[in-house]
Amino acid sequence: MDYRDRHVVVTGGTGALGTAVVGALAEAGATCHVPYIVTAEAERFALRSHAKVKLVECRSLSEETDVAWLYGTVSQLWASVHLVGGFAMAPVVETGKADLMKQVDMNFVTAFLCCRAAVKAMDGRGGRIVNVAARPALELRSGAGMVAYAASKAAVVALTVALAEEVAKLDILVNAVAPSIMDTPANRAAMPKADHAAWPKVEEVAATIGFLASPENKVTRGAIVPVYGKS
């Protein structure tokens, strides 16, 4: 993949999957704009000194004005990859409105606002957008016990498919990946007895995202790509 002279926004870029995505894109020549909210995130980000990585302090990705400001700092945007989000597991009777809205804000609202800002920033030049859904958003019964999370990620699926149809004529291809549980240190610590070898590696998921966001992807749009590994 050749990303030379192309600018890419990667939200959630300081996380485990984000680090893999940013590393792969930067290696392919992209200039990666990585927003962060907490200073400690930037300080521990392994790629903070990379010549192709630009860390951008941002107050919020669920507020319209903050997202507009972020995308206004990027010239000639080619792709926008939306990894930021959150997970919460709880029975529905223990999930209040505040818990629900937190999941909606973190997973759906951030994706919607970043998609909107990206389409504006691409300004008729074409480009690529990649969202992150989740396995429970495709296999809805598996969302039992995490209904708010599953519903917010299902909204990301609907956003992706509908937007892909809306902006196809602008040469903007919109897709999403739907990971199962990924092999990260945090997930291993949370589930020490699980079959970690079956989980998809973040580098493998990053490779799929890298293709969908690349100029080499000329025809795929509206896809929700399962990245389950062997799990």
CB hemisphere CA count around 205 (13 angstroms)? 32
Q: Which helix (H) or strand (E) holds 212?
A: helix 202-212
d(CA 6, CA 122): 12
* Amino acid at site 164: A
* Residue carrying the six token digits 């990379």: 50
**Catalytic option among 36, 71, 149, 228:** 149
Q: Determine the angle formed by the axes of helices 147-167 and 110-122, rounding to 10 degrees.
A: 20
- What is d(CA 104, CA 231) in angstroms, rounded to the nearest whole number? 26
According to DSSP, the residues that pair with 225 across neighbouring strands are: 177
Tokens matching residue 179: 């990971």
Q: Alpha carbon of 121 to those of 18, 34, 42, 87, 128: distances in Å? A: 22, 16, 25, 29, 12
**149 counts as catalytic:** yes
Q: Residues with catalytic annotation?
A: 149
